[in-house]
Structure 1
Amino acid sequence: MSTSKLDQIADQLRQSGEYRVIHRYRKPESYNVTSPDDKKLIGVFLDIESTGLSHTIDKLLELGMVKFEYTEDGRILNLLEEFNGYQDPKIAIPEHITKLTGITNDMVKDHSIENSKVAEYLEDVDIIISHNAQFDRAFFETAFPDIVPKAWACSMRNIDWRNEDISSFKLEYIAYRYNFFYEGHRAIIDCLAGIHVLAQNLLNSKQLVLKHLLDNALQLEFRLWAKDAPYDCKDLLKTRSYRWGTHPIHNFKAWYIEIPENNVEEEINYLRSSIYGRTIDIPIDILDAFSKYSINNQLIEKEDKHKDKLTWVQTLCKVQ
Structure 2
Amino acid sequence: MPSQLDMFSHDSVHSRVTTRAKGQSRPQNSAMTEQDMQRSLEATGRYRILTKLQPRAVAPTPRPGFPLRGVILDTETTGLNARTDEIIEIGVLAFTFNADGGIGDVSGLFGGMRQPSGKIPAEITRLTGITDEMVAGKSIDIQALERLIAPADLLIAHNAAFDRPFCEAFSPMFVNKAWACSVAEIDWRARGYEGTKLGYLIGQSGYFHDGHRAVDDCFALLEVLSGGGQKPGRSAFAELYAASQQSRVRIYAEQSPFDMKDQLKARGYRWSDGSEGRPKSWWIELPEDALDDELLYLRSEIYRWQDADPPVVHLTAFDRFRTRK
Q: TM-score, normalised by structure 1?
A: 0.84
Q: Mark the CA change 1:57 to 1:211 in structure 2 (over 3 Å): closer, same or farther.
A: same
- Name the residue aligned to 2:321: 293
| Aligned equivalent of 1:256, options 263, 279, 283 | 283
- In the TM superposition, residue 59 of structure 1 has moved relative to its aligned partner by 1.7
Which string of whole-angstrom CA distances, capped at 9 and with x for unpartnered residues, describes residues 268-316 of structure 1? 122111110112212111000111001254xxxxxxxxxxxxxxxxxxx
Q: Mark the CA change 1:90 to 1:147 in structure 2 (over 3 Å): closer, same or farther.
A: same
The DSSP-based 3-state class of the residue aligned with 1:263 is helix
Alignment of 1:185-224 (within 5 A): 185-224=212-251
Gaps of 5+ in 2: 4-31
Gaps of 5+ in 1: 298-320
- In the TM superposition, residue 196 of structure 1 has moved relative to its aligned partner by 0.8
Alpha-carbon distance in structure 2 between the residues aligned to 1:2 and 1:153: 33
- In the TM superposition, residue 248 of structure 1 has moved relative to its aligned partner by 5.0
The DSSP-based 3-state class of the residue aligned with 1:80 is strand
- Name the residue aligned to 1:23: 51
* Alpha-carbon contact 2:74-2:163 (below 8 Å) kept: yes
Alpha-carbon distance in structure 2 between the residues aligned to 1:105 and 1:217: 37
Which string of whole-angstrom CA distances, capped at 9 and with x for unpartnered residues, describes residues 169-221 of structure 1? 10110111110011224210010001111111231233211111111121111
* Alpha-carbon contact 1:69-1:76 (below 8 Å) kept: yes
Q: Mark the CA change 1:287 to 1:206 in structure 2 (over 3 Å): closer, same or farther.
A: same
- Name the residue aligned to 1:139: 166
Alignment RMSD, CA only? 2.4
Say if 2:39 is the partner of 1:6: no
- In the TM superposition, residue 30 of structure 1 has moved relative to its aligned partner by 7.8
- In the TM superposition, residue 35 of structure 1 has moved relative to its aligned partner by 7.1
The DSSP-based 3-state class of the residue aligned with 2:234 is coil
Say if 2:143 is the partner of 1:120: no
Identity of aligned residues (%): 36
Q: Which one has the largest radius of gyration? A: 2
- Name the residue aligned to 2:18: none
The DSSP-based 3-state class of the residue aligned with 1:27 is coil
* Alpha-carbon contact 1:141-1:296 (below 8 Å) kept: no
Alpha-carbon distance in structure 2 between the residues aligned to 1:265 and 1:202: 34
The DSSP-based 3-state class of the residue aligned with 2:290 is helix
Q: Mark the CA change 1:23 to 1:156 in structure 2 (over 3 Å): closer, same or farther.
A: same
Alignment of 1:168-317 (within 5 A): 168-245=195-272, 246=274, 249=277, 252-279=279-306, 280-295=308-323, 297=325
